[in-house]
């Protein structure tokens, strides 16, 4: 990945430009709950300003006020130094202020080109100029090095491709101010590098950019200044050159994060909890064999498209599959997620919003849904459900405005903790966790890592699927690496390094490593 870094701005000897867009002492409340407290922030032409903080720190509310999706309760929004009142996001876009959404703002049934030009279609006389829109969409996608057919339906695209369409749509609006909400959360390194090239281009053209990310290495690489928010307040604004990743993380959470990954306290045993042989998922994975020991954390790594998620979905009964599976030495058949749950195997999806939680339901309903039979005697025992929610809030540190809050109103980190609590309520002996911390701040990551460590210490066997190599290395006892639907190799101990994993994922591993991955651990 190109090593971009701060390029413009006062910390490099240039006089500071006048802010193009700013917040001045902005408060925001939702009913009786105040979520922003006197927030001041400015975005300057030709500068990338990073906004970071834990989930729930107030970043999303701040961005929505900047871009017309919300109005401040008090304080001012200033555009070119003058008070601006955006009645809605369309009014902000008309002034050149554009938001790239983390949650896709795309019409699934329309094509890519129709989404890019939605609301500002090109015409030739009285008819739509489809060819011109297709050509311009293709040019925008080429800038991002995205191989996406402009005529494809958005519903048929992968999650990373949808993110690239969202970015292309924003680039096509020729923004004076571009606000980016976690734009790289679902992108590969190559896709992120292409986006960073466009950010450099926009910065050179004098666009003012706000960039949010939980990936602090990206913040260091791409931004000129960084603002840290905590509990709805700005706690510091500094030139990025003055901030290390450790200083950023500690400012975000207000505590030391030096021990991010917990250490195993006791040696790993040899009892096999799960034995998988020749697992195949048509079109995605073939010949997957491995053993999982009791209390082990087994990592699964690989490039996007390697089949890692699909293989685990097959194992959990979410996809049609073939092969043999043994749990605690006994052959089992897992045809449905209900079969898996009955056998003590649980799967935590990577798509917590689309498939993991009912966003319009409250915490209690989400928590107990998979275990509802346990709360029915024969009618649902609401008191026992509330007691289970009490325990989940305490044990998983779920932070919500109220017990009646909808899951969709929780921060990403608290949604993930709710999903983990919901999964563990079924008391599984084996848990597969896909992308445990995607889109989650560093402080909540530490909490989830500790939860996974505690599960393993209590004897639960855990499989962690992750695209973040430091995470999969730091959490796991061993790491299996997949490539093109097959196991490419295994690393553990001194060989458990990013370089070794990348080499296997790219087909540069040795025959010995590939063989080891198919053998049972001692």
Residue-by-residue pLDDT tens, the chain, 522 positions = 344 444 433 333 454 678 999 999 999 998 887 889 999 999 999 999 999 988 778 898 999 999 999 999 999 999 999 999 999 988 998 899 989 877 677 888 899 999 888 888 888 888 888 899 999 999 988 888 888 899 999 888 877 788 788 888 888 877 899 998 888 877 778 888 888 888 888 898 898 999 998 888 899 999 999 999 988 999 999 999 999 988 888 888 776 666 788 888 778 889 999 999 999 999 999 999 999 999 999 999 998 789 999 999 999 999 999 999 999 999 999 999 999 999 999 999 988 877 888 888 899 998 998 887 888 777 888 888 899 999 999 999 898 888 888 888 888 888 989 999 999 998 999 999 999 988 787 788 888 999 999 999 999 999 999 988 889 999 999 999 999 999 999 999 988 998 899 889 888 765 344 444 444 343
Q: Which two tokens stand for residue 174?
A: 């020729």
Is residue 167 situated within a structural domain? no
Residues 6+ apart with CB under 8 A from 182: 102, 212, 213, 214, 439
Examine the domain organization and report whether 340 and 383 are in the same domain.
no
Q: Which two tokens stand for residue 331?
A: 């052959």
Residue 157's pLDDT is what?
A: 84
Examine the domain organization and report whether 436 and 522 are in the same domain.
yes
Q: What is the pTM of this model?
A: 0.64
DSSP secondary-structure letter at 262? Answer: P
Is residue 464 situated within a structural domain? yes
Angle at 174 between CA 169 and CA 179, to 5 degrees: 70
Examine the domain organization and report whether 414 and 438 are in the same domain.
no
CA 211 to chain centre: 15
Tell me which of 427, 450, 482 is where a domain ends. 427
Grouping H, G, I as helix, E, B as strand and the rest as coil, residue 82 is strand
**Residue-wise DSSP of 392-436:** HHHHHT---S-TT-BGGGS-HHHHHHHHHHHHHTT--SEEEEEST
The parent domain of residue 306 ranges over 259-344+431-522
CA–CA separation, 299 vs 512, rounded Å? 19
Which phi and psi angles does 146 have, rounded to 5°? -100, 120
Examine the domain organization and report whether 274 and 295 are in the same domain.
yes
Whose CA is closest to 351, among 304, 285, 412, 431?
Answer: 412
Grouping H, G, I as helix, E, B as strand and the rest as coil, residue 101 is coil
Sheet with strand 177-181: strands edge to edge: 97-100, 177-181, 208-212, 47-53, 225-230, 233-239
Examine the domain organization and report whether 340 and 470 are in the same domain.
yes
Max Cα-Cα span within the chain: 75
Is residue 61 situated within a structural domain? no
What does the radius of gyration of the chain's CA atoms come to, in whole angstroms? 24
> Looking at residue 340, which CATH number applies to its domain?
3.40.50.300
Examine the domain organization and report whether 411 and 263 are in the same domain.
no
DSSP secondary-structure letter at 256? Answer: -
Is residue 411 within 8 Å of residue 55, measured between CB atoms? yes
Is residue 71 situated within a structural domain? no
Angle at 464 between CA 267 and CA 431, to 5 degrees: 85
Examine the domain organization and report whether 509 and 371 are in the same domain.
no
CA–CA separation, 495 vs 515, rounded Å? 15
Examine the domain organization and report whether 314 and 460 are in the same domain.
yes
Angle at 145 between CA 69 and CA 353, to 5 degrees: 40
Alpha-carbon dihedral angle through residues 453, 454, 457, 460, given to the nearest 10 degrees: -90
CA atoms in the 13 A half-sphere facing the CB of 504: 29
Q: Which two tokens stand for residue 188?
A: 């590969």
Q: Which two tokens stand for residue 58?
A: 């107030």
Examine the domain organization and report whether 377 and 334 are in the same domain.
no
CA–CA separation, 95 vs 403, rounded Å? 40
Residue burial 403-421, b: 16+ Cβ < 10 Å; e: rest: eeebbeebbbbbbbbbbbb
Is residue 320 situated within a structural domain? yes
Q: Which two tokens stand for residue 251?
A: 């400012």
Examine the domain organization and report whether 399 and 422 are in the same domain.
yes
Residue 258's pLDDT is what?
A: 65
Is residue 46 situated within a structural domain? no
CA–CA separation, 224 vs 49, rounded Å? 6
Examine the domain organization and report whether 435 and 519 are in the same domain.
yes
Is residue 40 situated within a structural domain? no
CB atoms within 10 A of CB 398: 22
Tell me which of 409, 427, 445 is where a domain ends. 427
- Cα dihedral 442, 446, 451, 456 sign: positive
Residue 56's pLDDT is what?
A: 75
Is residue 117 within 8 Å of residue 123, measured between CB atoms? no
Is residue 467 situated within a structural domain? yes
Is residue 196 within 8 Å of residue 145, measured between CB atoms? no
Tell me which of 381, 412, 427 is where a domain ends. 427
CB atoms within 10 A of CB 322: 11
Examine the domain organization and report whether 366 and 308 are in the same domain.
no
CA–CA separation, 104 vs 122, rounded Å? 23
First vs last Cα of the chain: how many Å apart? 38
Residues 6+ apart with CB under 8 A from 499: none
Which phi and psi angles does 298 have, rounded to 5°? -105, 120
- Burial class of residue 302 (count of CB atoms within 10 Å of its CB; 0-12, 13-18, 19+): buried
Which residues pair with residue 293 across a beta bridge? 272
- Tally the domains of the chain: 2
């Amino acid at each position: 990945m190109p090593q971009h870094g701060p390029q413009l701005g006062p910390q490099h000897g240039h006089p500071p430009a006048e802010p193009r867009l700013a917040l001045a002492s902005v408060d925001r409340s939702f009913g009786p709950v105040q979520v922003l407290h006197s927030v001041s922030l400015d975005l300057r032409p030709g500068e990338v300003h990073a906004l970071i903080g834990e989930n729930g720190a107030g970043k999303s509310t701040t961005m929505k006020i900047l871009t017309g999706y919300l109005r401040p309760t008090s304080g001012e929004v200033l555009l070119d130094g003058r008070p601006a009142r955006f009645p809605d996001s369309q009014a902000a876009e008309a002034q050149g202020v554009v938001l790239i959404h983390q949650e896709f703002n795309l019409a699934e049934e329309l094509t890519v080109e129709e989404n890019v030009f939605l609301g500002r279609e090109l015409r030739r006389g009285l008819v739509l100029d489809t060819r011109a829109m297709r050509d311009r969409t293709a040019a925008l996608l080429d800038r991002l090095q995205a191989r996406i057919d402009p005529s494809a339906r958005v519903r048929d695209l992968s999650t990373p491709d949808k993110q690239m369409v969202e970015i292309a749509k924003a680039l096509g609006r020729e923004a004076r101010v571009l606000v980016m909400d976690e734009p790289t959360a679902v992108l590969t390194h190559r896709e992120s590098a292409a986006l960073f090239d466009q950010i450099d281009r926009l910065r050179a053209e004098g666009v003012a950019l706000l960039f949010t990310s939980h990936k602090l290495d990206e913040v260091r690489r791409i931004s000129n200044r960084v603002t840290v928010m905590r509990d709805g307040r700005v706690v510091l604004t500094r030139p990025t050159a003055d901030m290390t990743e450790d200083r950023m993380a500690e400012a975000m959470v207000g505590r030391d994060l030096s021990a991010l990954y917990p250490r195993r306290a006791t040696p790993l045993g040899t009892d096999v909890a799960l034995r998988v042989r020749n697992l195949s998922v048509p079109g995605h994975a073939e010949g997957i064999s491995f053993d999982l020991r009791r209390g082990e954390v087994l990592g699964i790594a690989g490039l996007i498209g390697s089949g890692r998620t699909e293989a685990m979905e097959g194992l959990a009964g979410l996809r049609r599959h073939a092969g043999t599976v043994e749990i605690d030495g006994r052959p089992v058949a897992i045809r449905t997620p209900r079969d898996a749950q009955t056998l003590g195997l649980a799967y935590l999806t990577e798509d917590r919003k689309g498939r993991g939680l009912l966003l319009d339901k409250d915490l209690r309903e989400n928590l107990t849904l998979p275990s509802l039979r346990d709360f029915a005697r024969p009618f649902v025992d609401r008191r026992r459900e509330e007691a289970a929610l009490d325990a989940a809030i305490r044990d998983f540190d779920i932070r919500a405005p109220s017990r009646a809050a909808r899951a969709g109103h929780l921060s990403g980190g608290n949604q993930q903790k709710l999903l983990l609590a919901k999964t563990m309520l079924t008391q599984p002996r084996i848990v597969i966790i896909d992308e445990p911390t995607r889109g989650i701040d560093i402080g909540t990551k530490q909490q989830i890592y500790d939860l996974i460590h505690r599960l393993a210490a209590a004897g639960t066997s855990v499989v962690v699927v992750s695209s973040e190599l430091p995470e999969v290395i730091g959490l796991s006892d061993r790491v299996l690496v997949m490539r093109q639907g097959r196991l490419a190799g295994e690393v553990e101990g001194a060989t458990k390094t990013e370089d070794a994993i990348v080499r296997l994922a790219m087909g540069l591993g040795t025959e010995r490593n590939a063989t080891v991955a198919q053998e049972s651990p001692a």
